[in-house]
Homo-oligomer: A and B are copies of this chain.
Amino acid sequence: MRIVAAKKLLKANDLLAAENRAKLAAAGVACVNVLGSPGAGKTTLLEALFAAFGPRTRPAVIEGDIAGALDAERIERLGVPVVQINTDGACHLDAGMVAAALGDLDLQAIDLLFIENVGNLVCTAGFDLGEQLRIVVLSTVEGDDKAVKYPAIFQGSDALVITKCDLLGHTNFDPARVAADFRRLAPDGRVFQVGATTGDGIPAMVEWLLAIREDR
């Protein structure tokens, strides 16, 4: 009974996700679903990317949060179009919420859309939003055992972004361990090591994202 209900909900989500995907493709917008724990540094990563993109792309953001608009305010300060979704307690975004947010964006005016999901290394993995790519953000201060402990989210991601690498010297985090665990789960996945506040590693991510946008 419990399982049947969950399957029905997921099926409805998949239908809406397919509609979102078709709508974005028709408008020529590349879309990246950004996943990770609370505090992994998702918003700070976006801020660093936007500063580095310069005029080469027309980005926008859908911010998912349980409550408040702190992250959306940070994005707005950069002059990047942003729509805030408040899930009102729900632990992940779903395709229906994203469909509503897409209605509030001018898709003709953008070409690279980031969806910053609710901070959650578990539940967000199960919901396709209609994105083209998924990236999972893991900070060096969260511990290097996370791919083993939360495999689903790593398995479904196209890239792992290891953030807060400027703090590597202060932790026992081994980037090689988590990269190896990630590659076992996602053999074709890319791994980026960045320090968003120092800018280290950001240019490589920018080139990768611009290439994806070009392929769109």
Contacts and interface: CB of A to CB of B under 8 A. Distances in A.
Contact of A118 (B89, B122, B166, B167): B122
Interface of A: 2, 5, 9, 37-39, 65-68, 70-71, 89, 91, 118-123, 139, 141-143, 145-146, 148-152, 164, 166-167, 170
A39 B164 CA distance: 13
| Interface residues of chain A: helix, strand, loop or mixed (majority) | mixed
Contact of A122 (B66, B166, B170): B66
Contact of A139 (B39, B119, B121, B145): B39
Contacts of A170: 166-167, 170
Contacts of A89: 152
A123 B91 contact: yes
A5 B37 CA distance: 27
